[in-house]
Structure 1
Amino acid sequence: MIQTAAPPTLDGLFRRLLARQPDALALADPPDKTRVTGQQPRQLTFAQADRAIAALAAHFVEAGLPANSVIAVQLPNTIEFVLTVLAAHRAGLVVALLPQLWRQAELTVALNRTGARAIVTMGRIDGVGHADLAMNAAVEAFSIRHVCGFGNDLPEGMACLDDVMANAPAAAPSATQDGRRAAIISFDVTADGFRAVPRTHLHLIAGGLGIFLESGVPQGATILSAFAPSSFAGIASSLVIWLLSGGALMLHHPFDAEVLEQQINEQPCDVLVAPASLALRLVEAGMLSRMAALRHVIGLWRGPEQVTSSPEWPAEQAALTDVYLFGEAGLLAARRTDDGAPMPILPGPQRAPRDAEDASVTGEILLTPKATLALRGPMIPVAAYAPSALAGNSLSAQPPLDHIDTGYAARLDRATGALCITAPPSGIMAVGGYRFLAHDLQEWAKRLGQGALLTALPDRLSGHRLAGRAQDNARAREAFSALGLNPLMSEAFRDRPTTG
C-alpha cells in the first residue's frame, strides 16, 4: 500500500527552511520594541527560533493542553507572535487570533465562543496592561485553564514565557502534522452578527500563495510586515509569505514613519507588506523614493471598494500589488499595471500570476443574483459562513453552498466586463481592521442614557470613523472603558476644539 505524505503545515514549512539554512537570519523585532513592550528588540536565526518554538511547544504540552484545543493569542507585531503561533501548531493546538484593540468585553465573548483552554498575551502593549485584561477575561471564560504572557511585571498566576524560552527545551512534542486540520480561528462580523472563522493550514497556505505568486516576491526576500497579524490576511501576507520565500521577516509595530524608513533602508528590505492607505501615504510624503532597496509593495485594502478610485502608483520605483480584503471570508491579489493603475478584475477563475500562461488558479469570483460579490476556492472556509436553517423547520434547510457571499455590492462594467465593487456590506461599519454592526453601535450608546449618540462616519482611509455625542464626553469615555469596550468606542467621545 502506497502512503501519501500529509498535507503541509506552517510548522512543516518552517522546518524545511531550518534544515536548509539554520544559521540564516529568520526574524527581527521592531527597533522601537522597547517603547511598545518594554523589552529589548531581538533578532533570531532559524536555529535560534526553532529552539524557542520547541521550548514554547513543550510548555504548552506540559501545561496539559490537549491536541486540537484552542489557545488564544493577543500579541503585538513582534517575534513573540510568530514564535507562539508556530509553537502552538507544533503542539497540535489551534490559535485564536485576538485583535490588539479588543478589551475585556470582546475578549470574553471570543474566549467563550471558541472554548479556548489557554490565552497568551504581553505584559504591556503601548502602555496598556494587556496581562491584566487577559486575567480578567479569563475569569469570565470557564474553559480557560492556563494564562501565560511575555514581558515584565506579569500578574500573579500568569506563567512567564520569557523564562520558558530562556531554558533548554524539553523533548519536542509529537503532535501529528496535517495541513487539513484547523490552524487558526479569526473573527468576523456579518449581517448575522459576530462569527468565529476557523481555517486549516491549507486555507492559510492557499491565501499566502495567491499573494506570493501574484506579487512576484523573490526567493530569499527580506520582508518587512507593517500589518497587524490578528486576521487571516495578516497571517497570509506576512507569516505565510515569509515561509514560502525562505528569507527573513522584519516586523514593524504599526505605525512610526521614521522607524519604518530606518528598517527598510538598514536591513535592507525587498518587500513591504502594509495597509494600502499607508503605502499611498509613503508616496505622498516622498518617502518611497528614499527606499532604494524596496522592489515590491503589498498593499492590503480593508475597503476593497476604494481600489479603483485610488491614485496611480509610481511603478518605476516599486511594484504594487493590491490585496482586496473581504472581511475574514477571503482575499484577492492583483498586481498593478505598468502605468500604475489598478488591474481590472474579471469574474470567474482567478489565476496567479495573472500574466503567466500556466498560472495556478487561486480562487473564483462570482456575482450573486443579489448583485453581491461571492468567493470560492482553496482559501475560502465555506462551512464557517454557512447559513443556519430555521429552528424547527426542516423544510427551510438550504442545500450546501460552495461559495461565500461577502455582502459587497458589485456590478460589471458594460464596456470592459471588469468587476466594480461599489459598496461595503449593508449595516456593517468598518473602522480600520474592526467591523461593527450599525445596530450594535446604537445599543452601546443607549447604555449612556438619553441623548447619547454613537455613529460611524465615512472615512477615505479607514472606511469609517466613529463619532459620539453625550452630555458629558469625559464620563462617556469612562463608562465605555468600564464596560470593557475597545478604545474605538470610548475615543469616539473625545472632546473637540471649539472655534470662536
Structure 2
Amino acid sequence: MPDRSPTLYDLFARTAERTPDALALADPPNKRRITGDEPVELTYAQAEIAVASLSSQFIRSGLPAGSIVAVQLANTVEFPLTLLAAWRAGLVVALLPQLWRQAELAEALNRIGARAIVTTGRIELIDHADLAMHAAAEAFSIRHVMGFGSDLPDGMTPLDWRQREAFAPNLSINARKAAIASFDITKAGMTAVPRSHVNLIAGGLAIFMESALPPGAQIVTTALLSSFAGLASSIVLWLLTGGALRLHHPFDPQVLAEQIRAGECDTLIAPAELALRAQSALIDAQPSLRHVIGLWRTPERVASSPEWKTASAKLTDVYLFSEMGLLALNRQDDGTPAPMTLTAAKSHQDTSRAGELLLTPKGTLGLRGPMVALAAYRPPHKTETSLLPPEMPPDYVDTGYPAKRTGQDGEIMLTGTPAGIANVGGYRFREDDLEQWARRLAPGTVMMALPDPLNGFRLAGRSNENARARGALAELGLNPLMTEAFRQRERQA
C-alpha cells in the first residue's frame, strides 16, 4: 500500500489551493541591508509559482531525485522558497549554519556527499558566494554552485525565483524518505542528522498542539532556519496553521517591533531569554500578540528562569536538545515553568503522544518520539551477547543532559549541560576541539567556553597577540565565534 503521509510541500500546496490570495511569506523590512535586495511579500499563489520555477531550475540543472543540496541562506523569502522547491523536486536539503566558514563547510559537504550548494551573494558584510566557491573546491561531490543575487562570481549558477519558464511536474515523494540533513556536534565530532518529512512534521506538531496556535496564524520568527528546531518552530508551524510567515533576520528590536505592528502578528517565535527580557519593552507594547514560542538552546535554565508576567500573550517554553529533538510546555497560570515529567508529553486537546522522556542509567535525559532521528545517535552495535537487559530501550536517544527526579509524580529537572560540549548561541563545540585549535597558535594561547547569561556560553581566548591569533583562525577558515574570541578588549581604568 503506498504511503499516504503528506510531505511538507503537500501542506503548502493544499493551503495555496484553498487560499491563493492570502499572504504567505514576507521579507524582513531591512532586507536591503542584509542581502542588497528589496523586501517582498508573496501571496500563496505567487509563492507557488516561485517554488515551481526554482524547482524547475533544480531539475533542469541535472540534479536527480534524492540528491543532497546544501543551503546557506539568510532569513529571507529565498530560504523557505528554496526548501519547498527542493522538496517539490524530490531533493534532500542539507542545512548549513550561517556562521560556518570554509573549514566547517568543507567538512560538512564532504561528509554528506552533497551534489550542489545554494547560497546568496552576501549576507551582511560577508561574501557568501566566495565562501561557497572555495568550500565547493574542497568537496569532490559538488557539481553545482548556485546563488541568489547579482554580481555572482564566474562559475556560479544564478537562481531567480522570479524567472518564468515551463514548470516541471511535482514529483511524487514518499514522506518517510529524507527531507533534510542537519548537523550536530557530539563527543565523536560532527554528525549529520537526516530527517524525513514525517519527522519534521512531528516536531512541529509537538509545538503546535501544546501552544494551540489558531488557523491562519500571523507568525513572525527570529529563528534561523538552519537547524531542526528552526525549521520545526517556523516553517512547519507556518505550514500547519496555513497562515503567514514574516521572517526577521536576527536581531534588531526596532525592526522586529515594526514587523509585528505592521502585520498585526499574533505569534512571535524567538529565543526565550530575549522574550523574557523584552516583556515590557516589546511584548506588552504589541496588543496583537497572543502567543510567544520561546526557544531554549540552554534547556537546563528553564526551571530557574523569570516568571512570565504578560497576561495578553501566552508563553510556550520549547526545550531544544541540540538536533536530537525538542519538548514544548506551556507556562503555568502563575507564569512559572511547567514541570517536566517522565510521562508522555500530550497535547492540550487529545492524547496523542508528542514525545516521551526517561532517565537513563547514567543519570541523563533520554528522549523518544516520532521526531527523533534514531540512526544518527544510536551507539555502535555490540557484537557480544549478554543476558542483561540493554541500558536503554532501542527507540530512545541519550541527550547527554544530566537530570534527576524532583518529586513523586515523575517530575524531573535538568541539572547541567552535556559533558565536553559548549553551546554558544545554538552553535555547539567540543571542548577538546577548542583546545586543539588553540594549540595550533602561538605558545601560551588558550581558548575556553565561559558561562554567559544570554547564550549559555561564550568563547573567550587569551594570547600574547590577540590580533595575530584572530587573523590566523580566520585564515584557517573558522567561524566568527572562534575568531572573535580573541577580539581586543578595552582595559578598565
2:291 and 2:354 map into 1 onto residues whose CA distance is 20
Output the amino acid matched with 1:445.
A
* Counterparts of residues 91-490 of structure 1 (less than 5 Å): 91-162=89-160, 165-283=161-279, 286-353=281-348, 356=349, 358-389=350-381, 394-395=383-384, 401-414=394-407, 417-490=410-483
Instruction: Point out where structure 1 has 5 or more consecutive residues left out of the alignment.
Output: none
**Which of 31, 34, 42 is the matching residue for 1:33?**
31
Q: Percent identity?
A: 58
* Counterparts of residues 485-500 of structure 1 (less than 5 Å): 485-500=478-493
Aligned equivalent of 1:51: 49
Output the amino acid matched with 2:257.
E
Output the amino acid matched with 2:182.
S
Post-superposition CA distance 1:263-288 (Å, at most 9, x none): 001111000001111111211x5221
Post-superposition CA distance 1:174-231 (Å, at most 9, x none): 4222210100000001122210000000000000011011011100110001111110
CA contact (8 A) 1:68 1:92 kept: yes
Residue 170 of structure 1 and its aligned partner are, at CA, apart by: 2.0
2:78 and 2:3 map into 1 onto residues whose CA distance is 30
Residue 317 of structure 1 and its aligned partner are, at CA, apart by: 2.3
Residue 400 of structure 1 and its aligned partner are, at CA, apart by: 7.9
Task: State the SS of the aligned residue for 1:152.
Answer: coil
1:362 and 1:400 map into 2 onto residues whose CA distance is 18
1:178 and 1:211 map into 2 onto residues whose CA distance is 24
Task: State the SS of the aligned residue for 1:153.
Answer: coil
Output the amino acid matched with 2:365.
L
CA contact (8 A) 1:224 1:273 kept: yes
TM-score normalised by the chain length of structure 2: 0.97
Post-superposition CA distance 1:105-133 (Å, at most 9, x none): 00000000010000000110011000000
TM-score normalised by the chain length of structure 1: 0.96
Aligned equivalent of 2:65: 67
Task: State the SS of the aligned residue for 1:348.
Answer: coil
Task: State the SS of the aligned residue for 1:187.
Answer: strand
Task: State the SS of the aligned residue for 2:384.
Answer: helix
1:224 and 1:396 map into 2 onto residues whose CA distance is 52
Residue 315 of structure 1 and its aligned partner are, at CA, apart by: 4.1
Post-superposition CA distance 1:19-76 (Å, at most 9, x none): 1011111000000001111100000011111111111111111111111110000001
Aligned residues: 489
Output the amino acid matched with 1:181.
K
Residue 311 of structure 1 and its aligned partner are, at CA, apart by: 0.2
2:447 and 2:410 map into 1 onto residues whose CA distance is 40
User: Quick check: 340-349 or 126-135, which moved more?
Assistant: 340-349
2:114 and 2:246 map into 1 onto residues whose CA distance is 29
Aligned CA RMSD, in angstroms, stands at 1.5
2:167 and 2:285 map into 1 onto residues whose CA distance is 47
Instruction: Point out where structure 2 has 5 or more consecutive residues left out of the alignment.
Output: none
2:23 and 2:407 map into 1 onto residues whose CA distance is 50
Output the amino acid matched with 1:344.
P
CA contact (8 A) 1:54 1:170 kept: no
Runs of 4+ in 1 over 4 A off after TM superposition: 396-400
Task: State the SS of the aligned residue for 1:373.
Answer: strand
Task: State the SS of the aligned residue for 2:340.
Answer: coil
